[in-house]
Amino acid sequence: MPDTSPPRLVVSGLSRAFGGAPVVDDVSLEVAAGQVTCLLGPSGCGKSTTLRMIAGVDRPDRGSIRIDGRLICDTTTFTPPEARSVGLMFQDFALFPHLTVAQNVAFGLGTDRAARQRRVEELLERVNLSGYGPKHPHQLSGGEQQRVALARALAPRPRVMLMDEPFSGLDNRLRDGIRDTTLEVLKEEGTAVVLVTHEPDEAMRMADEIALMRGGRIVQRGAPYNIYNKPVDKAAAAFFSDIN
Ligand code: ADP
Ligand code: MG
């Protein structure tokens, strides 16, 4: 039977201006379960603002957002962030320093103790940190902390995961490994992912689809190698040219 369910996330005609200046201009996206879409573009092009509206921490002037077909935001509807089933991960999204790793991961989970413990163990294993549960964040490296943050964000099984430059604070040498682990875990969980980055090589490595942004608009959308091989214009080609 063909799958007739709606895409996990549908963003349609999203627009936002600050002080009369358009910052996000008619942005539309669909992301399926298990798919990673990268919002890629230079600093200031409106990536974070787009993500913040999907998260529900900012409101669009126009447009709509649906998760699993359910309208969560348009000009008259506004579902608060905690009721959207979105997981968030930002560069500086710190762990709670006074809680253990296990308590951090369990933070957003329900009250069934055995179920919490199972979920925490499952996720720590997925991010290759089995046995780290009793440790405190300060005992972990930056990369390990980032993997705990990923486990914590995924613990409540969000329908959509929103990640804003989550690896940009990390050492270059660590980054590729963490990108791969993150991608593996996201695929196992089957979450729909919107990953914001200004780095073409990160998008090439992680995305199923790239949405290339400039000046608040999506100027090109497609599979990474299609965009890389057939950039829509000279500016897009130049943006990809410093990939290493
Ligand atoms: P990116 O994440 O792609 O670097 P942002 O979405 O953070 O871009 O910002 C896009 C533009 O919108 C920038 O010029 C930024 O200064 C502006 N901007 C973002 N948030 C606000 C705000 N709350 N008030 C005024 N201007 C903002
Ligand atoms: Mg940003």
79 phi, psi to nearest 5 deg: -85, 130
How confident is the model over 221-243, as pLDDT tens digits? 999 999 999 999 999 998 888 76
**Residue 51 CA, closest ligand 1 atom number:** 6
pLDDT above 80 for 91: no
Rounded CA-CA distance 199/152 in Å is 25
How confident is the model over 172-219, as pLDDT tens digits? 888 888 899 999 999 999 999 999 999 999 999 999 999 999 999 999
Q: Please give the DSSP secondary-structure letter assigned to residue 92.
A: T
User: Tokens 């296990």 identify what position?
Assistant: 102
pLDDT above 90 for 220: yes
Confidence of residue 120 (pLDDT cuts 50, 70, 90): very high
107-140: burial string, b at 16+ Cβ within 10 Å, e else: eebeeeeeebeebbeebbebbebeebbeeebeeb
Residue 24 beta carbon below 6 angstroms from any ligand 1 atom: no
**Residue 39 CA, closest ligand 1 atom number:** 3
Residue 197 beta carbon below 6 angstroms from any ligand 1 atom: no
**Residue 213 CA, closest ligand 1 atom number:** 3
Residue 37 beta carbon below 6 angstroms from any ligand 1 atom: no
Helix and strand numbers, DSSP H then E, in the chain: 8, 10
Residue 46 beta carbon below 6 angstroms from any ligand 1 atom: yes
Residue 216 beta carbon below 6 angstroms from any ligand 1 atom: no
Quote ipTM for the complex: 0.98
Q: Report pLDDT for 22.
A: 96
Q: Report pLDDT for 97.
A: 93
pTM score of the predicted model? 0.94
How much distance in Å is there from the Cα of 176 to the middle of ligand 1?
28
Strands (E), the chain: 9-18, 21-31, 36-40, 62-67, 70-73, 86-90, 160-164, 192-197, 209-214, 217-222
Q: What value does the mean pLDDT of the chain take?
A: 93
